[in-house]
Amino acid sequence: MNHPMSLRSLRRAVLFTAWLVLSGVLAGCATPPAPTPPAPVKNVAAAIQMPSPVTLDDGRGVSLKPNSSLGLTPPTDIWERIRRGFAMPDLNDDFVRNREQWYASRPDYILRMTERSRPYLFHIVEELERRNMPTELALLPFIESAFNPHAVSSAKAAGMWQFMPATGKYFDLKQNLFRDERRDVLESTRAALDYLQKLYGMFGDWHLALAAYNWGEGSVSRAIARNKAQGKPTNYSDLNMPNETRYYVPKLQAVKNIVAQPEAFNTQLPLIQNHPFFKSVPIDRDIDVAMAARLAGISVEDFKTLNPSMNRPVILAAGTPQVLLPWDNATSFEINLQNHANQKLATWTAWQAPRTMKADEAASLLNMPVDQLRSTNGIPPNMLVKAGSTLLVHRKGQLDNDVTERVADNAQLAFAPEIVLRRILVTARKGDTLASLAARHGVSAANMATWNKLGPQINLKPGQSLAVLVPTSQSPRLSPKPVPHKKTAPAVAQRPAPKAVKR
């Protein structure tokens, strides 16, 4: 009988003790000392006091990177966020020391590069973290292009990630008359990280993946195979490679070291907030670049900084359904765009040549000054515009509609040499026909009949003279065609554009 009572007594004692403790806590909360009121907090996350990061060991003698520690205060600037995501093994050799000295002796160059990275770094870091990739890869455009999205190398690599045309096509970067996505901030970053992940999957080593990004995966694979055949190590530092690739990873390591400890290199990094710089805004109508910048309240230069893939003064909504705008200007653009719902947004459009023609003939069809058509589209002298080519023209009349997706995605401009013809006289031989005489001089029988005002089935007499128009130069000739009797009305060609073939 005593045992149940003792249990009840124990429960009461525990509950009583808990009540006393809770009462003390509540009393302490209810009657705190009266300190001086704190200043208003602008950044709540930064104001939360967290314990200092603790370096842990994962059991293999490797220190975990800082962002794996619990309770870190969210970084207030992008450089700290990048530091916390460092995950690649460090390279430490004379090549790194050489590049550190080179960068540290050029503080103005570092400042220009880092300032130029301001619009893009947050997005790149976001993408790297989303893919669980090392954040030092966000520094790679410093090595590739000094963060210049308009950069073009002597080998025709373009954009801040420096994609070659063929590699860009392999990673679905569209390159046409109106846009080059090798320069596009979102698309080129997506493609670059896709490529780096692919290379890391091939080699299982970030240094080798970076070497392949610079030198080519085939070249790195062959260098590894040679070392294996000779019984040599196959690490990055042990491979025989060109000087450019030999210094490539050390350059990135040097920039990483400077970002990690700028004071050690007497360098000051500009403050770049850990906040999105731009916002993507959808568009559903063709719009001039100048008009888009005006509606956003920014300069055309600033607009092109965030939208460097635009090759022409008009944005075709079917091919580019969004634009990037500074975060604080995006809302203003959307409001102003709605206010222009019934107004004209584009003064330029695309027109496809229905046949191969001279520039002045195209200008006549389009009711546009030939000099303006040439300068706008870069048509060289003595060149014909080939059939199916897309030209940038004034938007008016029949050309007052938005461009279709097929044209926006496949617009190309091709030229053919313009051939100047001269008239000569030839003499028919016994047994000659218009066809045989035309074949002898490399022209068509139909043109022979037109030039000489003859019927196509006429019998030629020996010694009969006929006029032939022949080229005055050795330039490749276009396929001869009958002279048309009617002008073709300006219209978009119906010939389907060729599909891009991936490697």
Which residues are the active-site residues? Answer: 144
Question: Rounded distance, CA 402 to CA 404, Å?
Answer: 7
In the block, residue with structure tokens 């006029």: 467
**Residues with Cβ within 8 Å of residue 457, at least 6 apart in sequence:** none
Q: Which backbone phi and psi does 397 adopt, to 5 degrees?
A: 60, -125
Q: Are 419 and 371 within 8 A, CB to CB?
A: no
DSSP 417-471: EPPPEEEEEEEPPTT--HHHHHHHTTS-HHHHHHHHT--TTPPPPTT-EEEEEEE
Question: Rounded distance, CA 311 to CA 176, Å?
Answer: 9
Q: Is 337 helix (H, G, I), strand (E, B) or coil?
A: helix
Q: Is 348 helix (H, G, I), strand (E, B) or coil?
A: strand
Question: Rounded distance, CA 272 to CA 117, Å?
Answer: 9
The tokens describing 73, both together, are 């205060």
Q: Is 43 helix (H, G, I), strand (E, B) or coil?
A: coil
**Residues with Cβ within 8 Å of residue 158, at least 6 apart in sequence:** 151, 152, 165, 168, 180, 182, 183
Q: Is 103 left (phi over 0), alpha (psi -120 to 50) or beta?
A: alpha
- Crossing angle (nearest 10°) for helices 359-366 and 370-377: 110
Alpha helices in 282-423 (DSSP H): 289-296, 300-306, 330-339, 359-366, 370-377, 405-410
Q: Are 438 and 448 within 8 A, CB to CB?
A: yes
Question: Rounded distance, CA 444 to CA 438, Å?
Answer: 6
Q: Are 50 and 72 within 8 A, CB to CB?
A: yes
The gap from C-alpha 340 to its chain's centroid, in whole angstroms, comes to 29
Question: Rounded distance, CA 296 to CA 53, Å?
Answer: 43
Residue from 231, 195, 197 nearest 216 by CA: 195
Question: Rounded distance, CA 69 to CA 84, Å?
Answer: 10
Question: Rounded distance, CA 499 to CA 495, Å?
Answer: 12
